[in-house]
Amino acid sequence: MDTQQRLKFNEDNIAEFRASGGRIASFGNAPLLLLTTAGARSGQRRTSPMMYLADEQHPDRVYVFASAAGDDQHPAWFHNVVAHPADLEVELGDARYQATAEVVPEPRRTEVYATQAGLYPGFAEYQAMTSRVIPVVALALQR
């Protein structure tokens, strides 16, 4: 898929998410959110749909995974989060929250990633496809 096709695919998914209150048909019943970041260099706002894992012990925290579907490079949103961890917006269903991010350190990263891979085996496949360690990012929602 070339860059233009990816952008169109992303735009279509964002529109579907917003029109349906947080669902995208191609993701089935998987928990989804929209993450809006400021570009690491440009500062331009960018929105990315992604699956998340709720933190059962902290209801105001969710985890997202910089899997890039097993690509050898981190996704652009990850670089944006690292550059501007306090300039984030998260959409869950119809609700919007400001958020801050923290890259989850080991050994917690491995625990959280294993939980997600157990629920959604595609994440185990993504890790097997790349030599990089897929980062896990904790998003603290400001409700």
Summarised one tens digit per residue, pLDDT across range 103-139 is 999 999 999 999 999 999 999 999 999 999 999 999 9
Q: Which of 21, 104, 17 is nearest to 55 (CA)?
A: 104
3-state secondary structure 83-104: HCCCCEEEEECCEEEEEEEEEC
Per-residue pLDDT, 7: 83
Report pTM.
Answer: 0.94
Mind listing the pLDDT tens digit for each residue in 24-73?
A: 999 999 999 999 999 999 999 999 999 999 999 999 999 999 999 999 99
Q: Is the pLDDT of residue 2 over 80?
A: no
Mean pLDDT of 60-89: 96
The band of 89, judged by pLDDT with boundaries at 50, 70 and 90, is: very high
Confidence band of 1 (pLDDT split at 50, 70, 90): low
**Rounded Cα–Cα distance for residues 87 and 93 (Å):** 20
Q: How confident is the model at residue 22 (pLDDT cuts 50, 70, 90)?
A: very high
Q: Which amino acid is at 30?
A: A
pLDDT for res 143 = 85
State both tokens at 3: 């860059």
* Single-letter residue type at 125: E
In degrees and rounded to multiples of 5, residue 5 shows phi and psi of -65, -40
- Matching CATH number, 3-142, of 1.10.1740.10, 3.90.550.10, 2.30.110.10, 1.20.1260.10: 2.30.110.10
Rounded CA separation 113/94 (Å): 26
Unique residue bearing structure tokens 């706002």: 45
